[in-house]
Chains A and B, each alone.
Chain A
Amino acid sequence: MPLGKQWVLGWRTPVMLAITVVLAVGVVGFAVARGAAEEDETVTIVYLSSGSAEVEQAHDQKWVREFNEMQDEIYVDYQLTTWADIFDRLYADLGAGNPPDVVWYGHAQINDWMEMGILEPINDWVSQDLLDQYLDHIVDESNEIVQDGQLYGAPFTQASRAFIVRRDWFEEVGYPPEEIRTWDQFMEAAAAVYDPERGRYATTITLAEDRMVGAALHHYYAPAFGLRNAVDFRDEMRDNYIEMLTQMQELAEYMPPAQEGWTHRDSIISYTEGVVAVALQGSYFQGDLAGLAPQMAQPDVTAIMPVPTAVPGGNPHASAYTVGYSILRAAQNKEAAGRFIEFMADRDVAVEWAMNVSPHKGVTIDDRVAALGDQVRWWEEEWGALFAGGGDVDLLSIPPYSPTSEIDSVKAEVIGDLLGGRIGPEEAYDQLKERVEAIRG
C-alpha cells in the first residue's frame, strides 16, 4: 500500500475528523439554542452583585428567587463578584458589549461611574412611590447619588462611619467614650490606652489596602480637621491639612507597626482579637463582630463614638453614605431592570438587609429586630442614638472624589511614608497635593 494512502486512511484521520464534526455541531447547536431562547417572551436581565459576604449572598439569593417565582415576564440572572473585582468585571462586560442590567454601587464607585457616563438615571424607570420611601437627605440634591436632579442609584442600605471603640478599655483608663469630644481629648485617651506590653494599641490604619487608607482620610481624619474631604487642597485649608497630617504622625506612635501589611480583613481581626482600641469601621461592622467575636458585640464592651473634632467649637461627626442598585446606560432591558430594582429596594425587602441601617422612612428599631433578630437591637440603638444626637453630632455626607482608586494609591504611599516617619507633614502635604492634582487634571 502506498505510504500516503496508508496515512490518509489510517484510524487516526477518521477519529480526528469525527471529533471536529462533533465540535462543530456542538458550537452551531449552542448558537441555535441560544437564538431560540432569546426568542422566548421572558426577558432575562443580568444582576451583578458585589455582595460576597454570606449574609449578603443569602439575602440576594432569597429575594431574586422570590422575584423570579412571583412573575414570569422577567427572569433575573444573579451573578456575583466582589467589591475588589467589580471594576474589572464591569469594564470587561462593557467592552464586550454585554453589560449587566443592574449593578451594585458603593460610595467608591458611583461617583466614578457617573463621571464616566455609564449609569442611567433611575427616575424614569422606578415609581415615585419608591423614591418617596427614601429618607429626605438621600434624594436631596447634595447627596452623592444625585446629579443634575437625577437619581443614579436606589439604596437598599445606609452605611455610616464612626469610631468603634473598646468601651471597657477606655473606661479602665478613665476616658469613657461619651466624654471624648475633641481631638486633644482623643489623643490623651489614645496615649492612656496604649499598652504594647499587653499588646494594646490605640488604633490602626490598614496601610496595605489603598481603599482603606482612602476611607480613613475621607470619612474620619479630614472632616475632623474641618476639611471638605480628603482631596480638599484649597489654599485656605492648607494649615488644617498639615495639622491633620501632624496629628496622624503623632498618633502613629500608638498604632501597631504591623499595620503596614494589614488589609481590611486584618483590621477587623485586630479589633475582634483585642489588639486595637479604636476601629475605623462603619455600621456594617455588626456582622463581623457578631460572627467573629460575639462576646464583643455587647454594649458594655463596644461603643460607637462619633469622630472627635479638632475644629475649635466644632462638633464630633459621623459620615453617612448609601449602597444600592444602579442601571447601566448600556443595559438592554432598562424597563425590566427598573421593575426588579423597584422590588429589591422596596422597604419591605430592604428592611431585612442584615447590615447598616435602613435608608427608608419610618423603619423603626422594632422593625429591624423583627426582621433580623434581637441581637441587632443594641447596634441599632447605638446608631439611632448617634443619629438623634440632639445637634451635638454632625452627620455628614462627605463629597466623594474621583478617580478613587488612583488617588487612594497615592494616599497609601504618602501616608505610609508619613506614619513610618520617612517624611514630615509638610512634605507629605506637598506630595499629596501635587500628585492628586496631576491625576485630577
Chain B
Amino acid sequence: MDRDHNQNSGRLRKLLTRASRSQAVVGIALLLPAFTFFAVFIIYPILHAVWLSFQDLYLMRGIDSIEPYGFGNFRRFFADPRWTLYVRNTVIWTFGSVVGEVGLGLLLALLLNRRIPFRPVWRGIVILPWLMPPVVVAIVWRWILDGEWGILNYVLMNLGIIQSRISWLTNRSTMWISILVISWWKSIPFSFVNLLAGLQMIPEELYEAAIVDGASLWHRFRMITLPLLRPVLVVVTLLMTIWRSHDFNLLWALTRGGPGGQSTTLAILSYRVGFEFYRVAYGASIGVLLMAFMLVFTGVYMRRIRLDI
C-alpha cells in the first residue's frame, strides 16, 4: 500500500515536473517576441540615449564625428542662462496641466456620477475632446485665440469685456493660462473616465449609512469618496504627470516653444537642440535630464503616498 502510494506520488511528481518544465518552455517561447520587442524598442533606445548624452555629436561636423564628452553636455545645459526658464516652463506646464486636468476631471466625475437627466449624453460630450488629435486641437484653438482675427477677442469685445484685442497665446501675461486651459480641455476626459470608474466602485451603502448618521455632503466627500478614490487618484495623477512632463505635440503645435522661447519646455528644447540644431548628443542629454527629474519625482511621490504597487 505504502509502496504503491510512493510509486504513484513519484510518478505524479515526475509528470508535474515535466509538465511545468514544458509549460515554462512554451511560456518563454511565447514571451520571447514581446520581450524582444521591448528590448529592441524600449530598453535599447533608453540605454543608447543615456550613452549618447555622454558623447559629443554635432552633425555639422559630420555623422562620424562622435567622441566621448563626459559630463560636458550637462555642464553646457546648466551654463545656459535660460536653463531656469526651461525648467520653470516644464514645471508650469506639467503641474499646471495635471492639477487642472485632475481637479476638473474629478469635479465632472462627481457631477456626472449623480443621477441627472440625460446623463449618458453629458458623459459623451465630456469625452469628445479626447477623440480629437492634438494637432487639430492646437490649430482650432490657435484660430480661436489669435490676436488679430480670433473669435474670442471678437466675442469679448462685442460684449464689452475687453477694449482692445489680446494676443492670448503670445502675451506674456495670458500665454500660460491660455495654454493650460487648452490642455485641460483636451485631457480632462482621461481623468474623468478613470475617476468616474473609481467612483462607481464605491459601495452605495457607505453613503446611505453616512446620511443616516447625519454626515454632510462635504463630510461624505472627505471621509468616504476621497479615501476610497485615493488609489485611482494616485495612479491617474502619476500617469498624467509623467505623460505631461515629456508631452510635445500639443505645446509644439500651439506655440512651437515661443514666443522667443518663453514656452519652451525641456521636451521641446530636447527636440529643437537635437533635430533642428543638429546637436544630437546635447539633445539626448536634455532628454536624460528630464527622465532623471521624473524618476526622482516619481520616487518621492510614491514614497509620500506610500502606495503599495
Interface residues of A (CB under 8 A from B): 2-5, 7-8, 13, 16, 20, 87-88, 91, 94-95, 112, 115-117, 199, 207-209, 256-258, 260-261, 263, 266, 270, 273, 275, 402-403, 405-406, 409, 412-414, 416-417
Q: A4-B20, A260-B259, A414-B260 are in contact. List 12 more A-B contacts (CB 8 A).
A: A3-B19, A7-B26, A8-B19, A8-B23, A88-B275, A91-B63, A91-B275, A116-B60, A208-B170, A257-B147, A257-B165, A403-B60
In contact, A4 and B22 (Cβ under 8 angstroms) = yes
Q: How far is the CA of A409 from the CA of B278 in the complex (A)?
A: 13
B48-75 interface (Cβ within 8 A of A): 59-63
In contact, A275 and B19 (Cβ under 8 angstroms) = no
Which of B148, B258, B261 has the most C-beta atoms of chain A within 10 angstroms of its own C-beta? B148
Q: How far is the CA of A115 from the CA of B149 in the complex (A)?
A: 42
B1-34 interface (Cβ within 8 A of A): 15-16, 18-23, 26, 30, 33
In contact, A261 and B167 (Cβ under 8 angstroms) = yes
In contact, B26 and A258 (Cβ under 8 angstroms) = no
Q: Check if B220 is an interface residue, CB within 8 A of chain A.
A: no
Q: Check if B272 is an interface residue, CB within 8 A of chain A.
A: yes
Q: How far is the CA of A266 from the CA of B146 in the complex (A)?
A: 10
In contact, B18 and A261 (Cβ under 8 angstroms) = no
Q: How far is the CA of A2 from the CA of B62 in the complex (A)?
A: 63
In contact, B167 and A258 (Cβ under 8 angstroms) = yes
Taking the nearest CB of chain A, how far is it from the CB of B19, in angstroms?
A: 2
In contact, A403 and B260 (Cβ under 8 angstroms) = no
Q: How far is the CA of A199 from the CA of B167 in the complex (A)?
A: 15
Known interface pairs A2-B16, A413-B261. Does A87 touch B60 (Cβ–Cβ under 8 Å)? no
Contact with A along B268-304 (1 / 0, CB 8 A): 0000100111100000000000000000000000000
B147 contacts across to A, CB distance below 8 A: 256-258, 260-261
B59 contacts across to A, CB distance below 8 A: 91, 116
Q: How far is the CA of A414 from the CA of B261 in the complex (A)?
A: 10
A112 contacts across to B, CB distance below 8 A: 60
Which of A13, A16, A258, A409 is close to B277, meaning CB atoms less than 8 Å apart? A409
Q: How far is the CA of A414 from the CA of B33 in the complex (A)?
A: 51
Range for the number of chain B residues in contact with chain A: 35 or more
Q: Check if B256 is an interface residue, CB within 8 A of chain A.
A: yes
In contact, A115 and B19 (Cβ under 8 angstroms) = no
B146 contacts across to A, CB distance below 8 A: 258, 261, 266
In contact, A260 and B167 (Cβ under 8 angstroms) = yes
B21 contacts across to A, CB distance below 8 A: 4
Of all A-B residue pairs in the complex, the 5 with the closest CB atoms, nearest first, are A4-B19, A258-B147, A260-B170, A416-B260, A258-B148
Q: How far is the CA of A412 from the CA of B147 in the complex (A)?
A: 19
B278 contacts across to A, CB distance below 8 A: 87, 91, 403, 405-406
Which of B23, B30, B277 is close to A405, meaning CB atoms less than 8 Å apart? B277
Q: How far is the CA of A412 from the CA of B60 in the complex (A)?
A: 21
Q: How far is the CA of A129 from the CA of B221 in the complex (A)?
A: 84
